[in-house]
Chain A
Amino acid sequence: MTPTTTDKQMTEDEVIAELRSGMTIGIGGWGSRRKPMSLVRAILRSDLSDLTIVSYGGPDVGLLCAAGKIKRLVYGFVSLDSIPLDPHFRAARQAGRIESVEYDEGMVYSGLYAAACRLPFLPTRSGLGSGVMTTNPDLKTIKSPYADGEELVAMPALKLDAALVHQNRADRQGNAQHLGPDVYFDDVFCAAADRAYVSCERIVETDELLAAAHPATLRISRAVVSGVVQAPNGAHFTSCVPDYGRDERFQREYVQAAADPEAWAEFSARYLSGDETDYQAAVSAAGLVGGSVGGNA
């Protein structure tokens, strides 16, 4: 019998069981776009705490803030795209509840890429002269050893214990595919992590991945993936084009509920008290499924 490649399919809760409190966890996507929300919801249900989260932040950060899961947040922004600010993130910051490590968004990429390349840092011009240098007192500059003598920021590697990303398709071995126009930095998050977990809309046979898509859609190789979760509508309420757009109505409901503790308790009871199946059922019942396809600058 021919040996076969490892089957890495698992459930959200099995992924979370492999994580520990205090870990540094990177979350893929961008703003309110293709966030691994079913995995984030699984963290909300868990006992995990004191997490360092690295994210191009959207409602993933907001929900984790609301649940008190974040000790330290490494980010360039937190936004819901069509709604500029996330209320839970704002509330957490304004109450001084989370430690803020704010970098230019390009610096976050440099840090993740450095980690992926097993380098201690990467030089970048970005950050020079800005408040990022003063609020990150550990951040150092480095002098070019060449004739130019430039003094640049040495962006430290953002090494992740785990990465969570959401893709449109994947096979059981962890080859993962985005079908929308942007992979964002999901592949770099995976490569920067000791263990990367990919949720996807649908697990398919390997041969199916490229049946109707360009090879460039396969940006995440099984070589960097530890687990694959089939999570239909798993990015809800963020966008996951072309499978579905952002659920704008639900996002507005999320923002409105966040403004008031009582409304938030009600929102949590309705959507976040059960498991992922319960969540999806509650969303369907509310008639909120299926946002319009399309995004916002």
Chain B
Amino acid sequence: MSAPTRAEVCVTACADIWIDAGEILVSPFGTIPTVGARLARATTAPNVLLSDGEAMLTTGVWPVGGEPEGYEGWIPFRTIFEMLWSGRRHVMMIPGQLDSFGNMNISMIGEYQQPKAQLIGVRGAPGNTVNHPTSYWVPRHSARVMVAKVDRVCGVGYDSAAAAGPSAQRFHDIRRVVTDLAVLDFETPDHAMRLASVHPGVSVEQAQEATGFQLQVTGEVPETRLPSDDELQLIREVLDPEGLRERELAR
């Protein structure tokens, strides 16, 4: 087995978010989180529910870009809303901007009435973040994405949830951020983003330099773990035989 690539380290870092996740819907955006979610189902989280991206719940694991093994349920968009309001979901979204308290923006850059750059819109981010665990995938960790202040709060961060009060905080849980350089979390007294681990070959300084705000560091920052041989085999032969994961990281 050849050495793991950065993309493969990111896949297992994503998969680790869902260790022992029970019977919840895992909704990954992007190729690497998708491979990670299926790896989790194949290894540490056999009970998770995964959709086909349209309206069906799937069984088994299958390659990205391919057809699922089978189906176990029906999950049109309305049912996804109902499920997310009930909290039985963990989403991994791709931020346009992400700040140190986990506020996330995919709506627009600049002024709301006349943005410099209009993006997709808030989508389900406001609802997701106050209803169930949310994690983020940043394929290109840079100061353009990791900003001091987001232009619009789509995904609600810890400070915004606190300012909005107990009903916003009750189910609020920004769990983890996986980037192409590092894994980050919010396990600090004031929930400021912490560098949880750096990927092999990345220094703490490098991760900090690519970030537009001060990262919290508690003690020695460990290296992100490497995928095991079994995991590599699953990733390479079953989940992503075409290597689409590598394309997502092309800088």
Among candidates A94, A106, A150, A151, residue contacting B114 with C-beta atoms closer than 8 Å: A94
Given contacts A93-B114, A106-B84, A125-B130, A131 and B120 within 8 Å (CB-CB): no
Check A197 for interface membership: any CB of B closer than 8 A: no
Question: Which residues of B have CB within 8 Å of A152?
Answer: 167
A-B contacts, 22 listed (Cβ < 8 Å) = A77-B120, A93-B115, A94-B115, A94-B116, A96-B114, A100-B112, A102-B122, A103-B122, A104-B126, A106-B84, A125-B127, A125-B167, A130-B122, A130-B125, A130-B160, A131-B152, A133-B164, A135-B112, A150-B170, A152-B167, A181-B76, A182-B55
Interface residues, chain B, with chain A CB atoms under 8 Å away: 29, 52-56, 74, 76-78, 81, 84-85, 107-108, 112-127, 129-131, 152-156, 160-161, 163-168, 170-172
Question: How far is A23 from B108 in the complex, measured between Cα atoms in Å?
Answer: 27
A104 with B125: CB separation less than 8 A: yes
B154 with A130: CB separation less than 8 A: yes
Binding stretch for chain B, among A84-92, A156-164, A257-265: A84-92
Question: Which residues of B have CB within 8 Å of A128?
Answer: 126, 130, 156, 161, 164-165, 167-168
How many Cβ-Cβ contacts under 8 Å join chain A to chain B?
A: 149
Distance in Å: Cβ of A48 to nearest Cβ of chain B: 24
Check A296 for interface membership: any CB of B closer than 8 A: yes
Among candidates B74, B119, B131, residue contacting A126 with C-beta atoms closer than 8 Å: B131
0/1 per residue, A59-94, Cβ < 8 Å to B?
000000000000000011111000011000110011
Interface residues, chain A, with chain B CB atoms under 8 Å away: 30, 57, 75-79, 84-85, 89-90, 93-96, 100, 102-107, 109, 124-133, 135, 150-152, 180-185, 295-297
Among candidates A95, A106, A295, residue contacting B127 with C-beta atoms closer than 8 Å: A106
A131 with B53: CB separation less than 8 A: no
Among candidates B118, B122, B123, B166, residue contacting A93 with C-beta atoms closer than 8 Å: B118
Question: How far is A133 from B152 in the complex, measured between Cα atoms in Å?
Answer: 11
Question: Which residues of B have CB within 8 Å of A78?
Answer: 120-121
Question: How far is A131 from B127 in the complex, measured between Cα atoms in Å?
Answer: 12
Known: A125-B131, A130-B153, A184-B76. 13 other contacts (CB 8 A): A77-B123, A93-B118, A102-B121, A102-B122, A106-B84, A125-B85, A126-B85, A126-B124, A131-B153, A151-B167, A182-B77, A185-B78, A295-B53
Among candidates A30, A93, A105, A151, residue contacting B165 with C-beta atoms closer than 8 Å: A151
B121 with A77: CB separation less than 8 A: yes
Distance in Å: Cβ of A168 to nearest Cβ of chain B: 15
Question: How far is A77 from B205 in the complex, measured between Cα atoms in Å?
Answer: 37
B123 with A297: CB separation less than 8 A: no
Among candidates A84, A109, A184, residue contacting B120 with C-beta atoms closer than 8 Å: A84
B166 with A150: CB separation less than 8 A: yes
A107 with B168: CB separation less than 8 A: no
